[in-house]
Amino acid sequence: MSNKVPQIRFNGYSDDWEQRKLGEMAKEFKSGISLKAEYIYKFGKYPVYGGNGVRGYTNTYNHDGDFALIGRQGALSGNMNFSVGKAYFTEHAVAVKANDKNDTKFLFYLMTKLKLGKWVTQSAQPGLAVGTVVSIKVLVPNKNEQIKIANLFNDIDSTIALHQRKLDLLKEQKKGYLQKMFPKNGAKVPELRFAGFADDWEERKLQEVLRERNNQQPQSMEYPLVSFTVENGVTPKTDRYEREQLVVGDKSSKKYKVTVLNDIVYNPANLKFGAISRNKYGNAVFSPIYITFLVNNDVTTPEFIEMFVTRNDFIKRALKYQQGTVYERQSVSPTDLLAMNVYLPGKSEQEKIGSFFQQLDETIALHQRKLDLLKEQKKGFLQNMFV
C-alpha cells in the first residue's frame, strides 16, 4: 500500500493523497478580535468563542458560517471547536475556513487528528503561532472524498452527543431520586416511596451501622494492592504504578490496610470532593490513609447505606466536623463520622431502595461503556482514515 493513502478508505477512491500546507487549503486562517469581558453575558444572541470553546454570549457577531476554531493561547492551546452560523471569535481563537477546493469540516477533523498542541511554544503563557500552523504539511484527498470523510465523523460525533445526553439525563434522574427517596430537613419519611411502606424511618447512630476495619497485611494474589479515587472508588493500580514498582523493587513485606467487598470506604481528606463509596472491587489492600467500614448486615444492606452516605446532603453535614487549618488537609475523622445520625427504614424497604439504585447504576454504567466505545471507535477511524 502506498504511504500516500490511508488504511481505511471509501469505495471508489484510489488516487494518492496530495501534499499541501494547511494554509494553502483555507481562504481564512486568522485570529478573532478581542472583546471586553463586560460585553460577554451568560445569555445572549450569539456565542462567544475563546481559546477553550464557548465563553458566553454577546449581542454582536464577527463571523457567519462554518468555521473550524483552534485555541491559540493557554494550557489548552491547539484544542479544536467547530462553529456554525453567526458567532463572535475572540483573539484567542483562530478561525479557519476552507477555500473552494477543500471542505471546512474535513479541515476540522484533520487538525483534530494532527493534535496541534504539539506545535505550541512553551513559555510563561503557552501559545500557538498562526504562522506555524499554516506551514504544517499534510496529505489530503480531493474535495469529494474530504466531504465523505467529514460526513462520517460528523455522524459519529452526533451519535456520541446523543449518548452523552442520555447519560447526563440518567445521572440527573439519579440525583433527583436521591433527593426524593431519602428524608431531609429532619423529616422521618421521604417524599417519594415504594407502595406498601408507611412507617417512620428509625434514627440511629452511624456507628450502629458501620464498624471500622483496621487489620493490615502485605499485598498478595488474594489481596492485591489497589487505589481509591473519587471517580472510580476502589480500583486497580495504574500501569504507571506497576512500572514504578519494578524500578523501586520488592515491596512484598510492606503492610497495607485490608478492605473487603461491600465495605464502605472513604478518604478523610477528600470527603469534600465526594471520596466515599462502596467497595465493588472485592478483597484488596490499600494505603492506611483510607478508612474502610464493615457493614452491619443485621440493620442495613451495603447497597442502601452506600446511597445514604454518598448523597450530597449527608456529605455536607459530615463536613461540619472537618478539622485542620489548611483547607487541602482538612479531614473528617472516622470517630466524628460514626457519631452522626442516620435514618433507616425497615430491611425490606432498604433492599427495595438499594436494588432500585443498583439497577440505575448498572444502566448508567452500560451507557458509559457505550459512550467510551464510540469514542474509541472515533479514535481508531481518525488514526486509519487520515495519512
Q: Are residues 68 and 187 in the same domain?
A: no
Band the pLDDT of 337: cuts 50, 70, 90.
very high
User: Residue 2: inside a domain, yes or no?
Assistant: no
- C-alpha span between 185 and 174 (Å, rounded): 20
Is 114 in the same domain as 162?
no
The rounded distance, in Å, linking the Cα atoms of 48 and 373 is 32
Please indicate, yes or no, whether residues 250 and 280 belong to a single structural domain of this protein. yes
Q: Which residue has the higher pLDDT, 250 or 81?
A: 81
Nearest-CA neighbor of 317 among 192, 143, 182? 182
Instruction: Identify whether residues 121 and 186 lie together within a single domain.
Output: no
Mean pLDDT computed over 41-53: 93
Residue 161 has which C-alpha cell?
452527543
**Domain match, 237 and 189 both:** no
Could you list the residue range(s) of the whole structural domain that residue 317 is in? 202-343
Query: E strands, 271-360, where?
Result: 276-278, 284-286, 291-295, 341-344
> Are 262 and 145 within one domain?
no
Q: Residue 194 sits in a domain of what CATH number?
A: 1.10.287.1120
Within a domain: 320: yes
**Does residue 11 fall inside a structural domain?**
no
CB-based contacts of 359: which residues, under 8 Å, 6+ apart? none
Average pLDDT over residues 94-107: 97
Same domain, 223 and 186: no
129 and 27 together in one domain:
yes
Residues 250 and 326 placed together within one structural domain of the fold: yes
The pTM assigned to this predicted structure is 0.80
Mark which of 117, 140, 163 sits at the end of a domain: 140
- 54-62 average pLDDT score: 95
- Look at residue 214 and tell me if it is in a domain: yes
The helix/strand count (H/E) of the chain reads as: 8, 21
Nearest-angstrom CA–CA distance, 91 and 84 = 18
Within a domain: 5? no
Whether residue 244 has pLDDT greater than 50: no
Average pLDDT taken over every residue of the chain: 92
Check whether residue 206 and residue 329 sit in a common domain. yes
Q: Which of 109-118, 240-249, 365-374 has the lowest mean pLDDT?
A: 240-249
Query: Is the pLDDT at 75 greater than 50, yes or no?
Result: yes
Q: Is residue 12 situated within a structural domain?
A: no
Tell whether 9 is covered by a domain: no
> What residues does 21 pair with on adjacent strands?
137
362 shares a domain with 281:
no
212 with 313, same domain? yes
107, 140, 173: which is the final residue of a domain?
140
Instruction: List beta partners, residue 28.
Output: 97
Please check the confidence at residue 251 and state whether its pLDDT lies above 90.
no
Alpha-carbon distance of 342 to 339, in angstroms, equals 10
How far is CA 370 from its chain centroid?
14
What CATH number corresponds to the domain at position 315?
3.90.220.20
Dihedral sign computed on CA atoms, order 139, 142, 143, 145: negative
Q: How many domains is the chain partitioned into structurally?
A: 3
Answer positive or negative: Cα dihedral of 281, 282, 286, 288.
positive
DSSP conformation class of 205: E
192 in a structural domain: yes
pLDDT at residue 341 above 60?
Answer: yes
pLDDT category at 327 given cuts 50, 70, 90 is: confident
